[in-house]
Amino acid sequence: MKKHFKIAVLPGDGIGPEIIDAALRVLDVVAKKYDIKFEFKHGLVGGAAIDERGDPLPEETLKICKESDAILFGAVGGDKWDNLPTDKRPEKGLLRIRKELELFANIRPAKAYTPLLSSSPLKEEIIKGVDLVVLRELTGDVYFGEPRGREVRNGERVGYNTMIYYEHEVRRIAKFAFEMARNRRRKVTSVDKANVLETSSLWREIVNEVHSDYLDVELEHMYVDNCAMQLIRRPKDFDVIVTGNIFGDIISDEAGALTGSLGMLPSASVGERYAFYEPIHGSAPDIAGKGIANPIATILSAAMMLEITCKLPQAARDIENAVEKVLEDGYRTADIWSPGTKKVGTVEMAEEIIKRL
């Protein structure tokens, strides 16, 4: 079993450095417990990289990523950089990492923790037992399609983007979804808009073709607008949701909100060679530096890294169990706090999780 892992650490902007520090402290404990070594190498990304290097993804950061076994990422963006041209903004660094490392599958679990059922906007009987994964294709769709741009036509401003998918992109994410479902509850919901979009028509056709090799897994197709509604009405019915880049971006945030807080939700973006782990929430510049950010999503992202990259599923379970125990014991950061529970900050939450490890 491999014992030494090189991890690229990209804290980014806003609360990124705080939540990353919390996750690294947890990983230090795991390393001692399982007799493994993490070699952390930090890099600049996003607004922090713009301020120091004039580029949201400097070449030295990309080099660190390519020389690592995995990338642990915080968050990018903030009001400070909102007026920059689109191709110079912090988010462009994140998109470029995904493209450069060919990270085609974004895995976003959404699990309803029993101690937090009251935090969900849905009734407890609807949300209790929810345990689903949104699998979002990450390298195609309108985020990367060409042509794209802005111009003036007949005296008025026009903006345009191209939604496009190649057959191999759909085929590999569909295969990924069915393989994942085989290790869960054996159900895949493919989400598209095939009634109006040629891109989605192709998507559905290819997903059906791939399904012929996975007949032990149930497949259902659902239009994206209906899926958005059914996630509210009957979220427990979903297991693995597979969809394109833009639909996945929206649906995964909705699924996350069901559980009560984006601060609880981890994610992994994986490709054939590299894997990138990050919380799904943003940089939250309004609370940056106040020590109140919820580090759990980042800590759970580190747990996903232990399972997927490091092949240490028991270590991942240890972290997940520690998080659940902390919640059962009543500890809450501000985003999930309710009367009668114990409000703690970023560092304190990490400490409580570490105690239970």
β-pairing verdict for 131-137 and 240-243? parallel
Decide: residue 218, CB within 10 A, 0-12 exposed, 13-18 middle, 19+ buried. Answer: middle
Question: Where are the alpha helices (H) located in 149-193, listed in sequence order?
Answer: 167-182
Instruction: Determine the Cα–Cα distance for residues 341 and 280; give it in Å rounded to an integer.
Output: 25
| Residue ranges in 106-197 assigned as alpha helix (H) | 124-127, 167-182
Q: What's the CA gap between 200 and 191, in Å, rounded?
A: 9
Specify whether the CB–CB gap between 137 and 171 falls below 8 A: no
Give the alpha-carbon dihedral of 16, 10, 110, 313, to 10 degrees: -130
CA distance 315 to 32: 11
Q: Which residues are catalytic?
A: 143, 193, 225, 249, 253
The SS3 call for residue 207 is: helix
Q: Are 174 and 207 in contact (CB under 8 A)?
A: yes
| 55 and 95 Cβ atoms separated by less than 8 Å | no
Q: Which residue has the tokens 């949701």?
A: 241
Query: How many Å apart are CA 34 and CA 56, to the nearest integer?
Result: 36
> How long, in residues, is the chain?
357
Say which residues have a Cβ less than 8 Å from residue 2's Cβ, sequence separation at least 6. Answer: 310, 311
